[in-house]
Amino acid sequence: MLEVWREACRHIEIAESVAAIADQLSQWLPIKRLLIRRLDPVTYHLETVADTLGSKDESRDRGLTELSSDNIERLMKWCQLGELAHCASRHHEHSFTLAAIPTSLTDNVLIGPLISEHDTVGLLIMQLRPDAKISEHDEVLCKRLLEPFAAALENDRRLRELKALRESAEADKRSLLSRLGRNALGDTVIGADNGLRQVMQRVQQVADSDAAVLVLGETGSGKEVIARSVHQRSTRAGGPFIRVNCGAIPPELVDSELFGHEKGSFTGAVSRRRGWFERADEGTLFLDEIGELPMAAQVRLLRVLQDGSFERVGGETSIQVDVRVVAATNNDLARMVQRGEFREDLWYRIAVFPIVLPLCGSAVRIFLHWQSILLNAPHDGSE
């Protein structure tokens, strides 16, 4: 088992980990095929991320499996038990486990839940040889495999998140450099262009305070780079910096994503989940494309900005957090307020200290349009 743990942790790609572990397991267990399926925590779709089959048939099982709400609830409850299910045929009594297994796997299949920090992150699926019999000792051994496979899947998730963050930051940096006509971004950038110099001066001015910041710029103009600069120059630099793309969250899941949910608060909520505000405590929460937030979520966001408290979906206990919010948008929020599409009181809260990226004329025109309104807006005392 120690060797299994070593293989689970020493490979960067999860497919390599699974292949290496399968070689080890073949010495003890009659395994014909082994798969890892990742569970999306938001959509509850299942995706095969590793498969030892290595043939053309494998492509059939690479797509997403969308489970029914009933199967989701039953599957999640079963996963929390941490037990294995032996599906001797496609007519197995636990239909919800069969729904999670690729159709190319016909019979003699073991399936087990992969749990990380009390959350179900995926499934381990082992197809046994047709004539194989599983002893009690074999089942105990298979159950012990769940933890190292869960660790491998969690490592894969973190690697994917890191790659996504790096790619996003690199894209923003390339966009900034192309607009500056430079090949590298160094300290001299602050003085390379009058407009950018002013932006960085405003970053320095606001970094040490806890004032809410609104970064205005078109898509790809470097808004996340500026938000990270504010965080890295602040006293919160040692805390988390979490980016949330408000426009990418389905409206019905916004509250759960931002504020978390309690177990049983809705179908599929089989365990408690901390939202992004809790995870960003003592750090900075970057709300990108804030203009895409539904009106109902805007009300709850306003309360957090006012007193730093909220309740999880389905919860009654008030949670207090210390989070600095940096928001960004490519929309004209002033016009959205006039059209009733964005709350005026929330707009005043997030635009305490606006930073406009003067890299394109349209952004400047938008800024000038609502700057006159801000000058006459009620002031909350923030500098």
Model pLDDT, residue 92? 53
* Cβ(246)–Cβ(288) below 8 Å: yes
Count other Cβ atoms within 10 Å, centred on residue 131. Answer: 7
Same domain? 37 vs 122: yes
Is 179 contained in some domain?
no
Same domain? 132 vs 197: no
Same domain? 294 vs 216: yes
Same domain? 205 vs 305: yes
Is 128 contained in some domain?
yes
Count other Cβ atoms within 10 Å, centred on residue 263. Answer: 14
Is 274 contained in some domain?
yes
Same domain? 336 vs 193: yes
- Domain with 266, as residue range(s), is 186-375
Is 381 contained in some domain?
no
Model pLDDT, residue 155? 78
Angstrom distance (rounded) from CA 338 to CA 341: 8
Strands (E), the chain: 31-39, 45-51, 64-66, 85-87, 109-116, 119-128, 213-216, 241-245, 284-288, 309-310, 319-320, 324-329, 353-356
Model pLDDT, residue 91? 52
Taking the chain (383 residues) in runs of 10, the rounded mean pLDDT of each run is: 52 71 73 84 82 54 67 79 71 61 72 83 83 76 81 79 76 65 47 62 88 85 86 91 91 89 79 89 94 91 90 90 94 89 90 78 46 47 40
Model pLDDT, residue 130? 74
Q: What 8-state DSSP symbol labels residue 313?
A: B
Model pLDDT, residue 37? 87
Angstrom distance (rounded) from CA 367 to CA 216: 8
Is 171 contained in some domain?
no
Tally the domains of the chain: 2
Model pLDDT, residue 39? 86
Same domain? 312 vs 192: yes
The enclosing domain of 21 has a CATH number of 3.30.450.40
- Residue where one domain finishes, among candidates 156, 173, 207: 156
Same domain? 198 vs 117: no
Q: Which residues pair with 214 in a beta bridge?
A: 327, 354
pTM of the model as a whole: 0.50
The enclosing domain of 282 has a CATH number of 3.40.50.300
Is 151 contained in some domain?
yes
- Residue where one domain finishes, among candidates 156, 176, 194: 156
Same domain? 10 vs 89: yes
Smallest Cα–Cα separation from 383: which of 345, 356, 352, 354?
Answer: 352
Same domain? 60 vs 206: no
β-pairing, 85-87 vs 109-116, is antiparallel
Model pLDDT, residue 98? 66
Is 50 contained in some domain?
yes
Same domain? 263 vs 122: no
Model pLDDT, residue 286? 96
Angstrom distance (rounded) from CA 217 to CA 363: 6
Residues in the chain, overall count: 383
Same domain? 148 vs 207: no
Q: Which residues pair with 113 in a beta bridge?
A: 123
- Residue where one domain finishes, among candidates 156, 178, 210: 156
Same domain? 319 vs 251: yes
Is 211 contained in some domain?
yes
Model pLDDT, residue 57? 44
Model pLDDT, residue 340? 92
* Cβ(319)–Cβ(309) below 8 Å: yes
